[in-house]
Structure 1
């Protein structure tokens, strides 16, 4: 399914003060917008995902699921800086006629959300019946719900946070260190930093899956000699990301994620969360090491009228990608009632 593209042919000023001369946003839609325009579900994607939700979130964009194209008009837009069509480091800098690469200006979660608000306006979407974000997609969703509380009717926040924690920032910095240790990173070419991004991905996976996930899926058969299954899995996953993503986008987006703080300039996180008017469901995962159940309970307790749901999984943070039956049991009634 080919992505659609929205062209914003005017300067787009970032929170840093830098300006992109123009902005392209890649996006996908599923289903039909109702004449009353009241059936929109907007999905905010995470780190290296794209706008094609059915591609990366199994068993969600199906009839009878919470992203049901026969009932809803589902929109997912690719984030600023990404490898998948929205303006980012591999796009041409009009000032030089060459790709930005490492010179792409710094941007934030708020910049991502402002870009998507432009797209929503262009699509004629006033109200959003349900805004759904998981992981760093949840960063975007909670920021949007704070910034435009009257636009969002329902809000689902899955394995996420209202502010990047020191633990999350440390994970991101460790991945950036791996990328920066690759001597090719910084060179003006699309494939720069390949070894670095492979190592970064392997580091990230440790936090996404955790010990329980690895111990369940990567056990060696009896009599196995080197290399271990877990070793080959890490190398395979690193190489897999290299084939579909670039180090400049990965590095830039990690930087953007660390800027996430809904309380910045709004009197703190709790004051910002109190602005949310949407009916909210916060979903934690029992074994998540990145956004623990305790942190998810804290988030739910500070959003007015929200409720908490939990996925039981051995797959850590990645449980939201794996436990689709549990996720649907929580989200289907939430978006349809």
Structure 2
């Protein structure tokens, strides 16, 4: 069998552009074709930074000397074709790219998905030296997705988000009559795997702190349109908070009302009604105040128009 091999130890000095990156993510990019399980195996025993052992969470610093052991793994079959694809651009400069992600498209490959937005963008822009996701959106969610075009922009954006200096707003159509004009929801969230191996989230006292603010936009009989402000960025946060309160998102296949979802499909709503509407922050390099907005996806706007007509 052919093999992908690096028969000798590799030594690398980390430059400024790679500084701040987690060691596991750095190795995934550097060792293309090597299974993640193998990367984690060598991380546990044979990788060294400045002649010392480190764990997978270590963030590289400029000037670090990295030792990568000899690697020999079976050659992977030819990779599945990844189409080069651009997406509607909401904002772009030398440091950042904001695209309008369609529903049904993963942001990256993995978990049974061979490619996502970031892989398609890299194929569409082979000249780009650096393209990395700043944050993530659920596969079923549409709207604003930020991509960094420089390592410095990526690390600065992560700090902006970690410090709570960005403002993310989503639009969600829920089942039921929401009453409060503005409501703070602080319910801790716990991640777990189902017996089938799927990732799920539930409200649990020992979970991670999670805070969402919901602003009522409009009511219809049996439906409410909410704007959600994310104060923390937990997995499935908006979906689980709303479901727990008895207001599941229309069309949500994980946490929603499955019988109602079937009815909604017949009425024209064939996806989850959750849209990343806007994000505001100061530009990480220029400090210019930015607000990037993605218009409501046409299929969602069409469903709201139908609700208006039937009201």
Fold shared by both chains (TM-score > 0.5): no
Pick the structure with more strand per residue.
2
Bigger relative contact order, structure 1 or 2 (CA pairs below 8 A, ≥6 apart): 1
* Higher Rg of the two aligned structures: 2
**TM-score relative to the length of structure 2:** 0.27
Question: Which is richer in helix?
Answer: 1
